[in-house]
Amino acid sequence: MVRRAVGVAVFAPLALAACTANAPTIDSNGSGQTPPAVPGRTTAQLVELGRQHKTAFALYEALRNEAKGGRRLAWSALPDWRGVYTRARGGITFDPDQPPDGLPTAKLTPEYQAKLTKRIEDAKRGIEFDPISTCSPPGHPRWLTEPFLREFIVTPDQTWLINEMVNDIRRIYTDGRDHVPAADRYPLYNGDSIGFWDGQKLVIHTNQLKAGIYQRSNPDYTEQVETVEIWQKVDDKTIGVDVWVYDPPALAEPWYTKQSYAQLSDPDRMMRIRYWNCGENENNSVYQTKEGSTQFKDFTFGKPQNAKDGQP
């Protein structure tokens, strides 16, 4: 019940608190910090690495050159990403290193800084609406921040990054193919992702994305958003991800964050990724009011009770 109600903006803090209280134990190194997946570079250097490249694809190409073109995995040499995971740190924000009660760490253009300021001020007054309240997929890069159970399936030609929430699967093609030709592209919730392997590190470039928000009380991103990610097992129970987000209309410079996912303890092998039917709970029958807040439809006797003139 908690998981199905989480998409509703009004009840999100309570739902997530309940989910955290009932969650299985996370096995991690207990440090609260995830080492960068790029060895030999500090966080400051990784931030600067993003600034050195004008586009996400330019950064991706630079990383591929460092890896001497990367390589295709053999079935006998797949990294061990088995198990069920959940986001290890970050809460309801895109950057896990955002200060408590502080602002998101992205450096925004003036237009998008103004939008974020208004969103935060409105939320303080109880005016808040989350696009996923209507059961829409979160979309990438927000995908990185969503809670609940995850699995990561590695094969030589594709890696599947699976989030239980709304049955959300990202497919990363590592068979040497390029992106879809520009003339055939259109915005998708999770975009188009290609990648290569550098040792045990998976490097990903994603484009062709829909506009969205990074998280509640976080900035917007546009349909020009692109990301570069480096995924790697950083210890026996943790997968760390270095992420650079490029979005020229919204970001004054690339936004670098460190994400991490902790393997859940499951000694009896009871955990499963289940089918997620967001719409089965009528609490998710919501809409956005003209003022921008969240309202629920009351389907008593099959009719929205708070509809006016037949309109929500």
- How high is the pLDDT of residue 135? 86
Residue 152 inside a domain? The answer is: yes
CB atoms within 10 A of CB 91: 14
Query: What CATH number does residue 267 fall under?
Result: 2.40.128.20
CA distance 213 to 65: 32
Average pLDDT score over the chain = 84
Residue 311 lies in a domain: no
| 299 band by pLDDT with thresholds 50, 70 and 90 | very low
Dihedral of alpha carbons 18, 190, 222, 253, sign: positive
The confidence score (pLDDT) of residue 40 equals: 75
pLDDT at 134: 84
Q: What angle do CA 188, 150, 137 make, to 5 degrees?
A: 30
Q: DSSP class of residue 278?
A: G
Segment 210-216 mean pLDDT: 96
Q: Is residue 264 part of a domain?
A: yes
What does the alpha-carbon distance between residue 83 and residue 152 come to, in Å, rounded to a whole number? 8
Q: Which residue would you say has higher pLDDT here, 64 or 91?
A: 64
Q: Kindly report the pTM of this predicted structure.
A: 0.81
Q: Is residue 99 part of a domain?
A: yes
Alpha carbons 103 and 18: distance in angstroms, whole number: 25
Pick the range with the lowest mean pLDDT from 122-131, 208-217, 250-259: 122-131
| pLDDT of 283 above 80 | no
pLDDT at position 4: 37
Does position 285 have pLDDT exceeding 70, yes or no?
A: no
pLDDT, residue 122, reads 93
Q: Which residues pair with 169 in a beta bridge?
A: 162
Give first-to-last CA distance, the chain, whole Å.
Answer: 25
- Count structural domains, the chain: 1
The strand ranges marked E within 105-215 are 150-154, 158-163, 168-173, 192-198, 201-207, 212-213
Task: Judge whether 308 lies within some domain.
Answer: no
Distance between CA 5 and CA 15 in Å, rounded?
Answer: 7
129 vs 203, residue with greater confidence: 203
Per the domain annotation, does 131 fall within a domain? yes
Residues 216 and 130 sit within 8 Å (Cβ to Cβ)? yes
Residue 231: band (very low, low, confident or very high) from pLDDT cuts 50, 70, 90: very high
- Looking at residue 189, what DSSP letter applies? S
| Three-point CA angle 163, 174, 239, nearest 5° | 45
Query: Which residue in this structure is represented by tokens 């009871």?
Result: 270
To the nearest 10°, the Cα dihedral for 156, 138, 278, 275? 10
Residue 51 maps to a domain: yes
CB 241 within 8 A of CB 229: yes
Residue 99 CB partners (closer than 8 Å, separation 6+): none
Note every long-range contact of 93-98, with CB atoms under 8 Å and residues 24 or more positions apart, other chains counting. 93/145, 93/214, 93/215, 93/217, 93/218, 94/141, 94/142, 94/144, 94/145, 94/214, 94/215, 94/218, 94/255, 94/257, 95/255, 95/257, 96/34, 96/257, 96/258, 96/259, 96/260, 97/257, 97/258
Q: Do 196 and 174 touch, CB atoms closer than 8 A?
A: yes
Neighbour tally for 62: CB within 10 Å: 14
pLDDT of residue 287: 55
Q: Is 110 helix (H, G, I), strand (E, B) or coil?
A: helix
Please say if the pLDDT value at position 2 is more than 60.
no
Q: Classify residue 158: in a domain, yes or no.
A: yes
Domain span at residue 28 reads 2-302
Distance CA(164)–CA(174), nearest Å, equals 23
All residues at 6 or more sequence positions from 190 whose CB lies less than 8 Å from its CB, including other chains = 137, 139, 140, 143, 168, 169, 170, 206, 209
- pLDDT tens digits along 173-208: 999 999 999 999 999 999 999 999 999 999 999 999
Whether the upstream peptide bond of residue 141 has omega within 30° of 0, thus cis, is: yes
Asked whether 57 and 244 are in contact (CB, 8 A), the reply is no
Position 133 scores a pLDDT of: 85
The residue-averaged pLDDT of 159-186 equals 96
